[in-house]
Amino acid sequence: MTSDTAPDLLWQRRSRATRALVAATSLLVLAGATAACSSEKKPSAASKRPATAAPGSTTSTAPEAPESDGYPSQPEGVDWPTEDWSRGPIADGVDAALVDSIVERAFGELSNDTGTIDAILVVQGGRLVVERYNNWDPEATHNSWSMAKSINSALVGILVGQGKVDIAEPFPAPEWQTPGDPRAAITWDQLLRMSSGLAWDEDYGAAEGDVVSTLGPDSDRAAYAASKPLAHEPGSTWSYSTGTANLIARGVADIVGHGDALVGWIDQELMRPLGIPKVKHNVDRAGVISGGSFIDLRPQDFARFGLLYARGGVWEGRRILPEGWVDYTRTPTPSDPDGTYGAQWWLMPGRPDVFYANGFNGQSISVVPARDLVVVVLSNAGDGRDNEVQNALLDAFGA
C-alpha cells in the first residue's frame, strides 16, 4: 500500500491563509430546512447548535481540513487489537455504575417487540472497556446499513494514499462523457460530500423509489445512480444519497477490479491489516459492492474500524489512510445547511470532537479522538432509541 511519491493531497496544496478561510466558513451553517435523508439523518437535540448564515459552495474544490493537533497513539503496553482486544476497566473519572445503568436500560426498557438494542461496545485508551450483547452472537456479522458509507470513504482514502485518485478531479463516470453533459463536472469530493447535484429521493418507504430499487444484488446500482439528471448545480446543494455512495464504490472497482478482485483488494488493504476476518458484502450484477448499505462486520470489527479513525488512519505502525484523510472526512460540508455532514461521516456540531458513522435502524460508530474513545451501538430499532443510548454514553464518557 505504499507508493514511491506521497500524493499531493487537495488540502495540502492550499496556502495557510486559504485553509484558514475555508475551515472558518465551513463551520458556519445556514438557517433553514435540511435536505431529505430518511431516518438516517437524525442528530438528536443534544447534537445541535444555533445556525448562522454561510455562503454555499458552487466550485469543485473541497473544503480544507482544520489544523489538527494530531490523534492519540496506542498507549504503551496496550496491544493493538489485530488479533484480540486488550480489555480493562473503565478509566478513573468515568462513572462505571452510570455506564452500566445506560447499558441495562438499553437492553431492558429500550428493547421490546418493536426493536432491540443488540450490542454496545466502548473502546477507551485502545482497550475494550465495555462489550455487552443483547441476545446477539458476537461472532455474527451485524447489518451495517449506511455505516457502509464511512467504510466506502476509507477505500477512497486508501486510493488517494496510493496516488490513484485525486478527489478534486471529475469523477470518471462513462455515462457523463458526452460532450456538453454538465454532470461531467461532478468531482469525487462532491460525491463524498453528498453535493453532486444529482436527483435522488432517499425514501426507504417507497417501494419503487430510488433506494429500494437498488438495494438488492440484481440491480446495477451505480448505473442507476449515474443515469439520474442534475437537480442542482454540482457543489451547490447538500442532499443525502445512497446512490452517490454506490457510484463511489464503482469508482473504486473501476480502479482495483470488480467482483472477487474488488473484495480481495478490500481485504488486503483494509480488513486484514485491522484483523477483520469476516466481512459480508452484497455484490451486485456489475461486480460492485454496496458502498451505501451493506458492508456487514462483527461488532468488535466495527470497533476496530472506529479505532483506525481515532488513531488518525494509522494501525500498528502502518499508515492505512493518508495523512490528513481523517481530518478531511470530518470537515463540515459547506453546502450542508446544518453543518452535520463531512465526507461520508456525520458530525455533531454540539459535540465538535465527535464524528460518527450512522446507519438505518440504529447503527453508529462514534469516534472521539480528544477522549481516545470509540462507542459502537448496534440495533434493529429505527425510531431513534439508539440515539438516546449513543448520547447517554457520550455524556458519561465526557464527550
Torsion of CA 17, 154, 226, 240, to 10 degrees: -70
**pTM: predicted TM-score of the whole model, two decimal places:** 0.84
C-alpha cell at 94: 468515568
- Rounded to a whole number of angstroms, the distance between the first and last alpha carbons of the chain is 34
Q: Report the pLDDT value the prediction gives residue 26, as an integer from 0 to 100.
A: 32
CB 364 within 8 A of CB 356: yes
CB 161 within 8 A of CB 270: no
Torsion of CA 88, 93, 99, 100, to 10 degrees: 60
Q: Report the pLDDT value the prediction gives residue 216, as an integer from 0 to 100.
A: 74
Q: Report the pLDDT value the prediction gives residue 210, as an integer from 0 to 100.
A: 87
Q: Report the pLDDT value the prediction gives residue 34, as an integer from 0 to 100.
A: 29
CB 142 within 8 A of CB 136: yes
Helix ranges (H only) for the chain are 16-26, 96-107, 147-161, 188-192, 210-213, 221-226, 242-256, 260-266, 272-274, 299-310, 325-329, 385-396
How would you write the pLDDT of the chain (399 residues) with one tens digit per residue?
333 323 333 333 322 223 332 332 232 222 222 233 333 444 443 333 222 222 223 333 333 333 335 899 999 999 999 999 999 999 999 999 999 999 999 999 999 999 999 999 999 999 999 999 999 999 999 999 999 999 999 999 999 999 999 999 999 999 999 999 999 999 999 999 999 999 999 887 777 788 887 777 778 999 999 999 999 999 999 999 999 999 999 999 999 999 999 999 999 999 999 999 999 999 999 999 999 999 999 999 999 999 999 999 999 999 999 999 999 999 999 999 999 999 999 999 999 999 999 999 999 999 999 999 999 999 999 889 999 999 999 999 999
Report the CATH architecture of 10-396: 3-Layer(aba) Sandwich (3.40)
Query: Residue ranges of the domains in the chain?
Result: 10-396
Q: Report the pLDDT value the prediction gives residue 69, as an integer from 0 to 100.
A: 53
Angle between helices 96-107 and 385-396 (to 10 degrees): 170
Helix%, strand%, coil% for the chain, nearest 5: 35, 15, 55
- Residue 198 has what DSSP assignment? B
CA 215 to chain centre: 18
CB 289 within 8 A of CB 282: yes
Q: Report the pLDDT value the prediction gives residue 112, as an integer from 0 to 100.
A: 95
